[in-house]
């Protein structure tokens, strides 16, 4: 995407965002069937070459990338606070032959109230889970918070980042980092959750466009499925779009395939509901 000099940057950025939006749209369509800050040019000029390699002629400063992406992420989080959106979560437990044994569905409108505080209005909750396996609001919020993982200066104080290399995702050239918490995580039933996995940073906008991994702490066999979240560009900021997760987990004494789908849709300028 960046080859020596940046040529026709605006047009190319528009084309690749269109291609990425097509991917997100296809992903959202699949889920339906199942139920910018601009980059710093001085840094962007250094991000050339094979996305899977970091050669002697193609060196970048990983810390500089992380720091700039965190600052851009801070602005994206602030921009996201100016939007209302719908958050949908669907959890299905599949038995033999992929027959749905239990399921949980929740949708809510997320917004800022008249005082600027985060708020939500639950639209619908449906569950056929056993009573001893119910999903409470704290669990939902912990899951969704990691699904929406966004890199900010505060995040830098909580996580270690290890530069992996480069990877092309559709029309996006990305810089890839492994992520893990700085401290040893202790299990707390209602405590905070953390990400251990990988992030993909777009090498032009220097914002996170994909997150994947697992949520900690979740001891086996009651861990949550590994997940992937894709982001979509809204007015130059990359915001969470949809999440998929699937794994074999133990529930009520049975080993079942757990399938999780989350969507973050209908972004609009915020207003109290």
158-199 pLDDT per residue, tens: 999 999 999 999 899 999 999 999 987 665 555 678 999 999
User: What does the pLDDT look like over 196-213, one tens digit per residue?
Assistant: 999 999 999 999 999 999
Which range among 35-44, 100-109, 175-184 shows the weakest confidence by mean pLDDT?
35-44
The pLDDT of residue 38 is 38
User: What does the pLDDT look like over 68-95, one tens digit per residue?
Assistant: 999 999 999 999 999 999 999 999 988 8
Is-contact 233 21, C-beta < 8 A? yes
The reported pTM is 0.75
Distance CA 224, CA 135 (A): 12
Name the more confident of 49 and 184.
Answer: 184
Long-range Cβ pairs for the range 5-13 (8 Å, 24+): 5/45, 6/41, 6/44, 6/45, 9/204, 13/204, 13/205
The pLDDT of residue 20 is 57
């Amino acid at each position: 995407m960046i080859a020596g000099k940046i040529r026709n940057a605006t047009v190319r950025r528009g084309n690749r965002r269109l291609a990425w939006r097509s991917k997100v749209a296809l992903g959202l369509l699949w889920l339906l069937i199942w139920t910018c800050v601009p980059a710093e040019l001085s840094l962007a000029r250094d991000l050339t070459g094979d996305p899977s390699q970091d050669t002697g002629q193609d060196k970048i400063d990983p810390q500089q990338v992380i720091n700039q992406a965190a600052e851009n992420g801070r602005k994206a989080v602030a921009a996201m606070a100016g939007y209302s959106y719908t958050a949908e979560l669907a959890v299905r437990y599949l038995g033999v032959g992929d027959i749905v044994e239990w399921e949980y569905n929740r949708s809510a409108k997320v917004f800022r109230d008249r005082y600027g505080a985060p708020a939500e209005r639950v639209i619908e909750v449906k569950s056929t889970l056993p009573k001893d396996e119910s999903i409470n609001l704290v669990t939902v919020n912990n899951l969704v918070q990691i699904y929406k993982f966004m890199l900010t200066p505060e995040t830098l104080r909580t996580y270690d980042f290890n530069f992996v290399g480069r990877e092309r995702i559709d029309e996006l050239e990305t810089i890839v980092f492994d992520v893990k918490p700085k401290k040893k995580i202790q299990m707390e039933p209602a405590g905070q959750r953390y990400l251990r996995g990988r992030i993909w940073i777009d090498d032009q906008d220097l914002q996170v466009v994909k997150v994947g991994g697992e949520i900690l702490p979740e001891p086996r066999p009651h861990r949550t499925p590994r997940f992937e979240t894709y982001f979509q560009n809204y007015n130059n900021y990359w915001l969470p779009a949809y999440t998929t997760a699937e794994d074999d987990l133990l529930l009520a004494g049975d080993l079942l395939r757990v399938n999780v789908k989350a969507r973050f849709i209908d972004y609009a300028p915020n207003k109290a509901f």
